[in-house]
């Protein structure tokens, strides 16, 4: 896309965790919002769970993804209409009692609990992740660019494919298959979210975040991404 074309359209940069997340969603959003310049950037992992990423570093890491795109397209911050961060919940807000002793060093997710040999590592991760998400959600902008966060629960794989603990090697295949289901009929994605994934999440943005923080909702299959389409009608 040329600089002139990009300037004519409102540019929205979506931030997701991985390449497969981008593959699943980017073309759908681009087709739905034809009047906007939709770009997905991924952080190569969950920055909210990384013990080396503090609250002061996280916004800078997000901005770097946006800045790289601006540099590539020779744009200025004023050309970026919004940064939309799609978080994986990963059970970050569940009660400590919902973290149970397991048989593996890996975190095993279910709609009821997280199991792991090292329970304390999960508890510490949840405290760190929830605290950083709360901080990021309190931001109105990053370096002057409007910033907002939405969620997939328990993660994007669970929300879109109804599969928890999906093998990393299969994520790309599932992403391709998911997009193929909506190719040429991308507007049906919004109905899919409402019919299959919302599962009781309120239609109000603040209420949706209150809901996902309660009980074990952040382990269940949910999203508030439908609210984005309400706030930003096609």
Provide the pLDDT for residue 34.
96
Please write the tens of the pLDDT for every residue from 177-199: 999 999 999 999 999 999 999 99
Say what the pLDDT of residue 63 is: 98
Tell me, what's the pLDDT at 6? 47
Exposed e or buried b for every residue in 26-43, given b needs 16+ CB within 10 A?
bbbbebbbeebbbbbbbb
Tens digits of per-residue pLDDT, 50-74? 999 999 999 999 999 999 999 999 9
pLDDT at position 2, please?
A: 52
DSSP calls for the chain: --HHHHHHSEEEEEEESSHHHHHHHHHHHHHHTTTEEEEEEE-SS-TTT-TT--TTTHHHHHHHHHHHHHHHHT--GGGEEEEEEEEE-TTTTS-GGGEEE-SSSS-EE-SS-EEES-HHHHHHHHHHHHHHHHHHHH-SEETTEEEEEEEEES-HHHHHHS-SS--GGGHHHHHHHHHHHHTT-TTHHHHHIIIII-TT--SSHHHHHHHHTSTTGGGSSEE-HHHHHHHS--
Give me 106's structure tokens: 């890996």
Q: What is the pLDDT of residue 4?
A: 53
Q: Is the CB of residue 201 less than 8 Å from the CB of residue 152?
A: no
Spans of the chain below 70 pLDDT: 1-8
């Amino acid at each position: 896309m040329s600089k002139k074309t990009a300037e004519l359209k409102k540019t929205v940069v979506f931030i997701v965790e991985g390449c497969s997340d981008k593959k699943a969603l980017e073309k759908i959003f681009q087709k739905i919002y034809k009047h906007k310049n939709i770009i997905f950037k991924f952080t190569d992992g969950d920055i909210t769970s990384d013990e080396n990423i503090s609250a002061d570093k996280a916004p800078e890491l997000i901005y770097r993804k946006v800045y790289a795109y601006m540099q590539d397209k020779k744009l200025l911050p004023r050309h970026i209409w919004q940064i939309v961060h799609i978080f994986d919940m990963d059970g970050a807000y569940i009660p400590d009692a919902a973290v149970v002793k397991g048989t593996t060093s890996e975190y095993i997710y279910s709609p009821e609990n997280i199991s792991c040999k090292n329970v304390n590592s999960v508890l510490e991760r949840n405290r760190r992740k929830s605290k950083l998400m709360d901080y990021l959600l309190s931001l109105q902008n990053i370096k002057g660019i409007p910033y907002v966060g939405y969620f997939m629960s328990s993660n994007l794989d669970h929300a879109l494919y109804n599969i928890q603990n999906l093998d990393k090697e299969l994520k790309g295949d599932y992403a391709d298959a998911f997009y193929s289901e909506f190719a040429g009929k991308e507007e049906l994605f919004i109905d899919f979210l409402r019919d299959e994934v919302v599962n009781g999440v309120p239609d109000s943005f603040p209420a949706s975040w209150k809901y996902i923080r309660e009980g074990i909702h952040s382990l269940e299959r949910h999203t508030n991404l439908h609210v984005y389409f309400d706030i930003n009608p096609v």
